[in-house]
Amino acid sequence: MSLKNLTLTDNETGKSIELPLLEGTLGNPTIDVKGIPGQLGYFTHDPSFGTTASCESRITFIDGDKGILLHRGYPIEQLAEKSNYLETAYLLIHGELPNKEQYDEFSTVIRRHTMINESLKTFFGGFRHDAHPMSMMMGVVGSLAAFYHEGLNMNDEEHLMISAHRLISKLPTIAAACYKHSIGEPIVYPRNDLEYCENLLYMMFSVPCEEYVVSPVAAKALNLLFILHADHEQNASTSTVRLVGSTGANPFACISAGIAALWGPAHGGANEGVLKMLEEIGSVENIPKFIEKAKDKNDPFRLMGFGHRVYKNFDPRATIIREVCYQVLEETGIKDPMFGLAMKLEEIALKDEYFVERKLYPNVDFYSGVIYKALGIPVSMFTVMFALARTSGWVSHWLEMMGDPDGRIGRPRQLYMGALERDYIPLEKR
Ligand code: CMC
């Protein structure tokens, strides 16, 4: 919806253009700049997309100043308290909470697709035992495209939805297989009588020769962490999925690209980074030294789990996770010195002028690692957990984009700063 127009005038040529001001249902009004190149001959410059709305979306809303996160209008606090991961996934995909019948049907469909093709299992043998699980995830999820490509009609909504279901169903099976490969244990088949997170824990921690009972505390905590990580509007990995998807690429290739983007330490890789950082800090006396390192512009070190492009007050997900950390440690009876260290680090950083001035607060990943560790999940699998949870967000955005009748290939422009046109010089004359 257009509010009114803004006028942009080129003072040199006197040419003007009317720029429509678009109003969403929530959030900042947005200037439609599409007409500028055609009418004034300029591009807009916004490296790292700090001010650019790359698409219209109806899925998730964030107000970074107020610390608000809504999925399809529902506050994250309410979903965290009352929903479960599969219901949240349904909400993200379909736009409404399911009724009982819809929920049962969705849950049955997701359970039905949990197995992976037997020949896919042989892929794991090609990786060294110490391959990072995120590298295996990228490879194996991408290779699902080889199994689901020929019959896939990208113009058929039902085909797209089945791909979305397959992704949500099969990624936990693949993730657990990555873990099993890294510890040399047999890959465990899914059990479709278990809930989503229970099944994941079962496939990761059970062995074929013994009975295994999934801990309800672990399943509950994982379910909550998955809700908190399910979607976050146009973040780097979701934007990657959309960009790759805009070319009409196979959905499994799109999600593999999303996994690749998520792996970086500035994004989902931060949860692994936090634990490694806490281990490096070691004890409370060393905190000031690391705070100084983080402030030193000549040192690339950053406090992992601190700061966010959008949240400039607090990350509502971090507030929930912090509380859950207490509960999980209490319920599991685990006394983890890392949690105490994390709390002290948070306390010191939040009083430090550098962090206050730049509005750097703990983000969702500052505490998630402490919980994963308490659940027995190895550090190298932390970002994989994030990827599993974010899959519902990725597929929701991919479906939204694919359903947009005005959708076009994503193709940014650039401010070229390279050499001017020049003539080729033969090798012997250079
Ligand atoms: N430690 C020290 N200084 C920091 C940090 C940090 N963690 N984060 C930002 N800064 C400084 C930065 O050096 C810059 O200072 P100055 O203005 O003096 O140049 C200022 O704060 C603004 O930083 P920025 O890099 O322009 O901010 P950004 O919006 O581009 O980056 C971020 C956001 C999350 C990548 C960054 O804060 C960061 O690297 N944090 C650590 C990694 C992390 O925890 N990532 C997880 C993000 S939440 C989960 C997810 O969405 O994936």
| In contact, 383 and 272? CB cutoff 8 Å | yes
Residue with the nearest Cα to atom 22 of ligand 1?
A: 358
Provide the pLDDT for residue 339.
86
Closest CA to 107 of 84, 79, 86: 86
Determine which one of 132, 315, 365, 397 is catalytic. 365
Q: Is 94 among the residues known to form the active site? A: no
Residue with the nearest Cα to atom 50 of ligand 1?
A: 267
| Burial state string for 298-323 with b = 16 or more CB within 10 A and e = fewer than 16 | eeeebbbbbbbebbbebbbbbbbbbe
User: How close is the Cα of 359 to the center of ligand 1, in Å?
Assistant: 10
Q: Ligand 1 pocket check: which of 239, 308, 350 to mutate, most ligand atoms within 8 Å of Cβ?
A: 308
Laid out side by side, the sheet with 16-22 consists of 2-9, 16-22, 30-31
User: How close is the Cα of 308 to the center of ligand 1, in Å?
Assistant: 6
Provide the pLDDT for residue 329.
86
Nearest atom in ligand 1 to the alpha carbon of residue 306 is 7
CA dihedral 68, 74, 76, 77 (to 10 degrees): 100
| In contact, 348 and 285? CB cutoff 8 Å | no
User: How close is the Cα of 288 to the center of ligand 1, in Å?
Assistant: 19
Provide the pLDDT for residue 263.
98
Q: Is 129 among the residues known to form the active site? A: no
User: How close is the Cα of 267 to the center of ligand 1, in Å?
Assistant: 10
Provide the pLDDT for residue 178.
97
User: How close is the Cα of 266 to the center of ligand 1, in Å?
Assistant: 7
Determine which one of 181, 267, 315, 397 is catalytic. 267
User: How close is the Cα of 358 to the center of ligand 1, in Å?
Assistant: 9
Residue with the nearest Cα to atom 32 of ligand 1?
A: 308
Provide the pLDDT for residue 1.
52
Distance of CA 257 to the CA centre of its chain: 12
Count of beta carbons in the 10 Å neighbourhood of residue 329: 19
Provide the pLDDT for residue 297.
95
Closest CA to 32 of 53, 11, 48, 57: 53
Q: Ligand 1 pocket check: which of 48, 302, 350, 385 to mutate, most ligand atoms within 8 Å of Cβ?
A: 302
Closest CA to 185 of 223, 214, 212, 149: 212
What's the pTM? Answer: 0.95
Count of beta carbons in the 10 Å neighbourhood of residue 368: 27
Structure tokens at 182: 């890294």
Q: Is 132 among the residues known to form the active site? A: no
AA letter at 104? D
AA letter at 164? A
User: How close is the Cα of 131 to the center of ligand 1, in Å?
Assistant: 28
Nearest atom in ligand 1 to the alpha carbon of residue 297 is 13
Determine which one of 132, 165, 229, 308 is catalytic. 308
Task: Give the pocket of ligand 1 (CB within 6 Å).
Answer: 232, 235, 266-268, 270, 294, 302-309, 358, 360, 363-365
| In contact, 364 and 318? CB cutoff 8 Å | yes
Mark the ranges of the chain whose per-residue pLDDT is less than 50. none
Residue with the nearest Cα to atom 29 of ligand 1?
A: 309
Q: Ligand 1 pocket check: which of 315, 360, 361 to mutate, most ligand atoms within 8 Å of Cβ?
A: 360
